Amino acid sequence: MRHSLCILAILVSAGAMAQTPRDFLTRFEKEAAAPAVAERGGRFFDATHGNDWSCSTCHTTRPTQPGRHAKTDKTIAPLAPAANAERFTSPAKVDKWFRRNCNDVVGRECSAQEKADLLAWLLTLK
Amino acid sequence: MKTWLALLLIALALPAWADRFSVPKHAAFDEECASCHLAYPPQLLDAVSWRALMENLPRHFGVDASLDDNRRLAITDFLTRHAGRGGSTTSSGKPLLRITETPWFRREHDEIAAPTWQRTAIKSPANCAACHTQAASGDFRERNIHIPKRGTP
């Protein structure tokens, strides 16, 4: 009984949580109150922002490829949804990594506009 | 008899005498502490060190590894329950945060010359898996050690 309740709870929350990359793009565009510009996202991804690292330092300039953590060398699965179906499907995961990685690269959290641009660009990669 | 028992207890407690650690399964630890590096076996630091490390995740060895409080506390509980003995501190009396700075780590690795750690295929002593090919499963046995030559100065 306990078990089936647990499983039910997981199923219900998974159903409510599961999202697609497009859902995230819609959310970020709505928060920014402006459409995404993919090309600007691509430039943001490859540039440094006052610190040593860019997004591409760990995720490579072609994020359909696997990356490597700049400090620990650990392999990182591709970031582009076309190459990795798990990307941009969990709000908790997406929010957590945007917070951490923008802090490390930009020294602050990324704005909704920046997140919209970045994701729009990642979605252009095939 | 008493001394034997004490010795036995010390032997069991000292990670330096072990070469295999069972890394107990824990969903939050597996997900949160193995994304940037391998899941370091909880036995390799003492509870005081784990607590100090877990209280400063936003500034974690030069990266932001921040977590929500629920997960952070659950993982802290897991790590301290499986922690090793140690009690070593820095010269200024703070708990050590790095496994690679503990006395037993230094002792086990005292044959490795300084330039070896710098090789591009190793980069850092914290990169256990560069040499311990089965480190991700907690296996540090000698037969599974292979020191890579790439990037030899």
The domain locations on chain B are 21-144
Binary contact (A72, B65; C-beta < 8 A): no
User: Does the beta carbon of B97 lie under 8 angstroms from any beta carbon of chain A?
Assistant: no
| B118 DSSP assignment | H
Q: Is residue A50 pLDDT above 80, yes or no? A: yes
User: Does the beta carbon of B61 lie under 8 angstroms from any beta carbon of chain A?
Assistant: yes
Rounded average pLDDT over B117-126: 93
Rounded average pLDDT over A52-79: 97
Q: Is residue A12 pLDDT above 50, yes or no? A: no
* Chain B residues closer than 8 Å to A53 by CB: none
Task: Give the per-residue pLDDT at B90.
Answer: 84
Backbone angles phi, psi at B113, to 5 degrees: -75, 150
Rounded average pLDDT over A13-26: 78
Nearest CA among B104, B123, B111 for reference residue B44: B104
What are the C-alpha distances in Å from B25 to residues A47, A106, A112? 39, 35, 36
**Tokens, residue B26:** 């824990």
Task: Give the per-residue pLDDT at A4.
Answer: 56
User: How high does pLDDT run on average in chain A?
Assistant: 91
Binary contact (A104, B61; C-beta < 8 A): no
Q: Are B111 and B145 in contact (CB under 8 A)?
A: no
Q: Is residue A40 pLDDT above 60, yes or no? A: yes
Give the number of other Cβ atoms within 10 Å of residue B38's Cβ. Answer: 19
pLDDT tens digits for range A85-98: 999 999 999 999 99
Q: Is residue A109 pLDDT above 70, yes or no? A: yes
Euclidean distance between CA atoms B99 and B89, whole angstroms: 12
pLDDT tens digits for range B61-119: 999 999 999 999 999 999 999 999 877 788 888 999 999 999 999 999 999 999 999 99
In which band, very low, low, confident or very high, does the pLDDT at A43 lie, cut at 50, 70 and 90?
very high
Q: What is the pTM of this model?
A: 0.91
Binary contact (A69, B127; C-beta < 8 A): no
Please, how many CA atoms are within 13 Å of residue B27, restricted to the half-sphere of its CB? Answer: 1
Sequence spans of domains, chain A: 17-124
Euclidean distance between CA atoms B10 and B4, whole angstroms: 10
Binary contact (B37, A69; C-beta < 8 A): yes
Binary contact (B63, A104; C-beta < 8 A): yes
Burial of B45 per CB tally in 10 Å (0-12, 13-18, 19+): buried
Q: Percent of chain A, pLDDT > 90?
A: 86
Give the number of other Cβ atoms within 10 Å of residue B140's Cβ. Answer: 20
Instruction: Please give the helix or strand (H or E) that residue A16 lies within, else none.
Output: helix A2-17
Rounded average pLDDT over B48-68: 97
In which band, very low, low, confident or very high, does the pLDDT at B15 lie, cut at 50, 70 and 90?
very low
Nearest CA among B130, B97, B61 for reference residue A73: B130
Task: Give the per-residue pLDDT at A6.
Answer: 53
Q: In this structure, which amino acid lies at residue B88?
A: S
Determine the distance in angstroms separating the CA of A71 from the nearest CA of chain B, rounded to an integer. 8
In which band, very low, low, confident or very high, does the pLDDT at A15 lie, cut at 50, 70 and 90?
very low
Top residue of B38, B57, B60, B63 to mutate, by most chain A CBs within 10 Å, is: B63
Choose which CATH entry (1.10.10.10, 3.30.1330.60, 1.10.760.10, 1.10.1660.10) describes domain A17-124. Answer: 1.10.760.10
Task: Give the per-residue pLDDT at A14.
Answer: 46
Top residue of B31, B64, B128 to mutate, by most chain A CBs within 10 Å, is: B64
